[in-house]
Every structure is written in C-alpha cells, then in structure tokens.
Amino acid sequence: MSLLRRTQRLLNLSSKYVSRNCRCLSDGTQLTSRRDKIKQGPSLKEFIIGDSEPVLLDRPHIPYLPENVTFGSNRKVYFDVYGCQMNLNDTEIVWSILKKEGFEKTEIEEEADIFLVMTCAIREGAESKIWHRLDHLRGFKRRRAQKNKDRPVKIGLLGCMAERLKTKLIEKEKAVDVVAGPDSYRDLPRLLALTESGQTAVNVLLSLDETYADVMPVRLNQDSVSAFISIMRGCDNMCTYCIVPFTRGRERSRPLRSIVDEARLLADRGVKEITLLGQNVNSYRDTRENPEDKERLDTQLAKGFKTVYKSKKGGLRFADLLDEVSAAVPDMRVRFTAAHPKDFPDEVLQVISERPNICKLLHLPAQSGSTTVLERMRRGYSREAYLQLVDHVKNTIPGVGLSTDMICGFCGETDEEFEETMTLMQEVDYNIAFLFPYSMREKTAAHRRYKDDVPDSIKKLRHNRMIQLYRTKSQALNQSEIGNTHLVLIEGTAPKTGQLLGRNEFYMKVVFDQCEIESQDGGRVNMKPGDFVAVRITGAKSSVLTGVPMYHSSVREFYRDVSWGERHMLRV
Ligand code: 5AD
Ligand code: SF4
C-alpha cells in the first residue's frame, strides 16, 4: 500500500475512532465537524503501526485519556474465558499486565468489581454463548448498582468478538464498559481506569508487531502441570471461511530467545508440559536472529502445496525453534498446535522424530476431504496432496498420531463432496478430531463470494455422521492400544470416579487407581499430579483409556534405548 493511501486510511481510522468513542474524551467535549474531530482527537502518531513505531509502549501518552490515573487500586477481576487455547494464554497475559498494576483476581462473582470476558468469534455458536453470559452479567451489574452504589461492577469484553464487533458491542450491549481487541491488552489498565469515572473505553487497533514477547503470562491455574506459550499471533492465510485473520490481524512471530526463556522458566517452576501455540506454527519465523545462514530451501511448492501470501525470507524457522526448545527443557513434554498442511517442511518432521520429549501427535487440520471444497476454502492443497503428506509423515515418524479439524456444510458442499470428507476420515486414522458444522462469518471471503446454501438440517445430519464415524474409528484405534505401555503425565483426579487422570503422548485421557508403585530410585511411593508414570493399558473407549500403573518414570528414562517405532509397541 502506498504511503499516501496508508496515511489516508489511518486518518480515516483516527476520525472514526474519535467519533464513535466521544464518551472517551476526558473533558466531555462533544465534537462537531469531521475536521474538528481530527484536530481534537489523538494525533496520527497514535495510530501508526509497524516496526518503527509500536502502538502502545509502557504507559503511553494518549491525549484523550487523563494523566496520572490510578489503575488497579486492588479492584478485583473475575475472568471468563471462551474459545481456544490461545484465548486462555491471552487471558494469562492480561492477568500479568493487570497484576502488575495492582489489580487482584477473584473466582467468586460476588467479590468482583470487574468482569473480563475473553471472547471467541470463530462460529456463531461461540458468540451465542457469550451473549448469554452477558445477559447474566447485565443482571448482576444492575443488582449490584441497587444494593451497593459504592461498588459498581464494570464489564469488559476482550478478544476476537470485541475486535469483530468493535463499538457495535457497546451500542448493542449497553452494560459493556470496555472493549479491547487482541492487540490492545497493554492498554487495559488505562481503559479500566477510565471506567471509574463512568466512561466507556474502546481500543480495537490491530498491530503489525505486538507479540507481548516481554510479558510473562501469569497462569490462572498455578497448580496446573501444563502451560501454553504463544509463539506467534495472527494469521495471513485467509482461508475463505475463517474470521481469524480479521480478528487477530497479520501474522507475526515472537523472538525465539524469549520463547526458550519462557520454557526454561516454566520448567524451573515445576511445569511438566508446554504447548507452543500459533494459528500456523510452521510459518513461524524469527528474522531478528541469524537472518542469512539459516535460509531454508522451500520444497513445498514442488510437492503440490501453494500459499496465498508471499513467504518471508530468512531467519530462524519452526524447526529451529522446536530444536532449541526441546533441547532447553529435556524433561518436559513439548506439544505444538496448529500446523497448516501446506507448510510442513521435512526439517520439522526430522526434529520431531529425533527428540523423545516432542510428542508424536501432529495436528494436521484437513478441513475437508474434497479437492473442490478445499479450493473454495482456499486451503492451498488437494485431497491427494494431503494424503501424500500423511503418508510422508507416517514414514518419517513411525507410530505417529494424527489429529484434525473438519468442517461440514461449507458453501455449496454437495452430497458427493461431503462423502469425500467421510472417506478421508475413513482412510486416515485420526486419534483426535474436532468436527464443526460450517458457520458463515461476515467479512470473510466466503461471505462476499459464496452462498451459505447448505440447510441447517443437512449440516446437522452431516455433522452427526462425522461424529459417529470418528467415535467408531477412535474406539477401534484405542482398543488396539490394550496391552501397550504408555507414558502418562498425571494431571489430577477424574471428577466422577476419583481415580487418577492423566494424558498419554497422544493427548488421550488415561485413568487408573491410586496406589504405591516403584519410584525412580527403587522405593515405593504413591502417585501425584505432575508425575510421569508408565501405565499398561487395559481398557478403551472412544475418548478415554483405562490402565494399571507400573512404575514412576520420566521422558528421558521411558524412551531410553528404544526408538519411537519400537516404543509405541512397547508391551509388558
Ligand atoms: N465455521 C465452522 N468452523 C470453522 N472453523 C474456522 N472457521 C469456521 C467457520 N466459519 C474451524 C476450522 C478451524 C477451527 C479452529 O475452527 O476447522 O481449524
Ligand atoms: Fe483460519 Fe485458515 Fe488461519 Fe487457521 S489457517 S486461523 S483456518 S485463516
């Protein structure tokens, strides 16, 4: 985009921003003409985004906000998290920012001064749940206002739905006080401070470079044995059905060093498993380090995968990151999600196959089994290319597990096209599958280009058929594990039975009874959350395995002397 056009866009944005948010002005002035709006509002500088000018520095000067506002003052925040793992991690970033400013956290509604709802916009169903929650919060706020005038409740909506609906949220839902998009969490203390004087505050600017690399997330559940690390934000893929590029903005990667440091810190704090998060981890690239000598030859195009955006050149890639992280924390399990099938370089498969602590479960979201649907979805691969990749992955990492996302009922999906999704699911043995009926989202290319013409009743039928097939197949897959020994990381206890509950390498739940088993130094001890235990599988359903615990172990010890192919078959 030319500098002139970019400047015009930013001017437009700044004028829109001021006019829609006139309640934000500290002196209460009502703005009149468009020119006045621009003059009195924040300068263009405040909206420039890019490498040279970060949008929000620590405690930025923002003209429409009063100076010297007190931020936290021990106000208690109640978090509600909807959506994906990335949202959970974002909430931990938000909590880290607020904690530093003197806010407190509560899990009791009655104690809360502020409700922050981390929202999801990926499907209509996700948004409906949040509207219901807002109904409840509106009532709570009203009752508090009647009961206790000195302790008003404030409501903030954060994340993707906030970004999607922007100020429309406040117009539609008068109870909302703060709207903050995924790139404006550093601004939250100020936005919340503004609400103390009854103002409504909105910041939905997307950034080109915000990665929150310097914010160490504070985990909401300190007892959890696993943690998430965001390695990148945004998505540049523009699959035609997906709202994510519009709500989370352009793709940007966090510096490799900050990720490795965070992994080490978590290991020091006793965390046993980390999941590296990104919308498309295989396009991770840290161009700040070693830009020349780590250049990779991109062979993907030759294998039948194409990409809609110009790939960035140079820098350290996901294989380098996996290599460094897994070496830095050899006693921790390392997982990652999600990987776009069009971007799967051999180097990544190589690192996974070599490192015992990288879980051998690959999330390869197919989305559909039909080449024509995949074309309409703009996924950049055909059914054949996907199946070839599956073969290649299986040959490179024997015994590898696979998971997927599938959508049924996408625009124009015929019975024949849907049957191709069913045959793909039949052909590929997925250990885990996330199955969705298509939900049309405004702004997406599909919304502009296609008709959401598969009736809801058909979507439902197709969805049920996918679920049924997946259950039958995963039950059979799980049953084939009976007699094998799995390394299980204990997470806690199963709510219904009180048995111990953990996960195997394929993220499948495994339950077993508490008892004393052999410890690593030869004694006999009970098991507890955070322990790695070798468990012999004795029973299987479609989503849970049962077993008998054998002995305490560790990632290093369990896999010592056995290659991955053998260890999967380990029978005792
Ligand atoms: N409708 C249904 N499912 C969707 N997903 C993304 N957008 C939509 C949509 N509009 C699914 C994809 C993606 C997962 C996170 O959500 O399968 O991989
Ligand atoms: Fe959405 Fe496609 Fe990006 Fe995944 S890769 S977040 S489906 S646009």
Summarize pLDDT for 287-330 with one digit per residue, the tens. Answer: 876 544 444 433 444 445 554 444 455 689 999 999 999 999 99
| pLDDT score of 27 | 29
| 260 touches 327 (CB < 8 A) | no
Q: pLDDT confidence of 13, banded at 50, 70, 90? A: very low
Average pLDDT for 416-439: 97
Judged by phi (left if over 0) then psi (alpha if -120 to 50, else beta), residue 414 lies in beta
What is the model's pLDDT at position 291?
44
CA 539 to ligand 2 center in whole angstroms:
36
Q: How far apart are CA 198 and CA 147, in angstroms?
A: 18
Which CATH architecture describes the domain 485-571?
Beta Barrel (2.40)
Of the two residues 201 and 296, the one the predictor is more confident about is 201
Looking at the chain, the domain(s) classified CATH 3.40.50.12160 span: 76-203
How many whole angstroms from 229 Cα to the centroid of ligand 1? 22
Give the helix/strand (H/E) hosting 435. strand 432-437
Mapped onto helix, strand or coil, the DSSP state of residue 190 is helix
Q: How confident is the model at residue 177 (pLDDT cuts 50, 70, 90)?
A: very high
Mutate which of 342, 368, 377, 407 for ligand 1 pocket (most atoms within 8 A of beta carbon): 407
Tokens of 45: 């500088």
Q: Give the number of the ligand closest to the Cα of residue 249.
A: 2
How much is the pLDDT for 34?
A: 45
pLDDT surpasses 80 at 420: yes
> Confidence class of residue 87 from pLDDT cuts 50, 70 and 90?
very high
What's the count of helices (H) and strands (E) in the chain, helices before strands? 18, 23
Tokens of 338: 């999600």
Q: How far apart are CA 410 and CA 393, in angstroms?
A: 28
The phi, psi pair for 249, rounded to 5°, reads 75, -165
Which residue intervals of the chain bear CATH 3.30.750.210? Answer: 227-359
Q: Which uninterrupted H or E stretch holds 230?
A: strand 226-230
Q: Which atom of ligand 2 is nearest to the CA of 238?
A: 8
Ligand closest to Cα of 343 equals 2
Residue intervals of the chain classified under CATH 2.40.50.140 are 485-571
Ligand 2 pocket check for 237: Cβ under 6 Å: yes
How confident is the prediction for the chain on average, in pLDDT?
Answer: 84
Tell which residue, 572, 485, 489, 462, has the closest CA to residue 536. 485
Domain 76-203 has CATH 3.40.1160.10: no
The CATH number of domain 227-359 is 3.20.20.140:
no
What number does the ligand 2 atom closest to the CA of 243 have? 1
Helix axis angle, 256-268 to 318-328, nearest 10°: 20
Which range, of 343-347, 504-508, 551-555, averages the lowest pLDDT? 343-347
Q: Residue 68: what pLDDT?
A: 52
**For residue 562, pLDDT beyond 60:** no
Q: Does the structure show a pLDDT above 80 at 504?
A: yes
154-158, 192-196, 294-298, 544-548: which has the minimum mean pLDDT?
A: 294-298
Cα–ligand 1 centroid distance for 244 (angstroms): 9
Residue with CA closest to ligand 2 atom 1: 242
- Residue type (1 letter), 286: D
Rounded to whole angstroms, the Cα distance separating 545 from 522 reads 27
Burial 330-339 (b: 16+ CB within 10 A, else e): eebbbbbbbb
Residue 196 pLDDT level (bands cut at 50, 70, 90): confident
CATH topology of domain 366-479: Transcription Regulator spoIIAA (3.30.750)
pLDDT over threshold 90, residue 270: yes
Question: Which of 84, 85, 239, 246 to mutate for ligand 2's pocket (most ligand atoms within 8 Å of CB)?
Answer: 239
The boundaries of every CATH 3.30.750.200 domain in the chain are 366-479
**Pairing mode, strands 154-159 and 114-119:** parallel
Q: Is the CB of 248 under 6 A from ligand 2?
A: no
Model pLDDT, residue 567? 52
Q: What was the pLDDT predicted at 290?
A: 52
Find out whether the beta carbon of 244 lies less than 6 Å from any atom of ligand 2. Answer: yes
Q: What is the pTM of this model?
A: 0.83
Closest CA to 26 of 57, 59, 70, 62: 62
pLDDT in tens, 22-57: 233 222 233 334 444 444 433 333 333 333 222 333
- Are 310 and 250 in contact by the 8 Å Cβ rule? The answer is no
Ligand 1 cavity residues, CB under 6 Å: 122-123, 241-242, 365, 367, 405, 407, 436, 438-439, 441
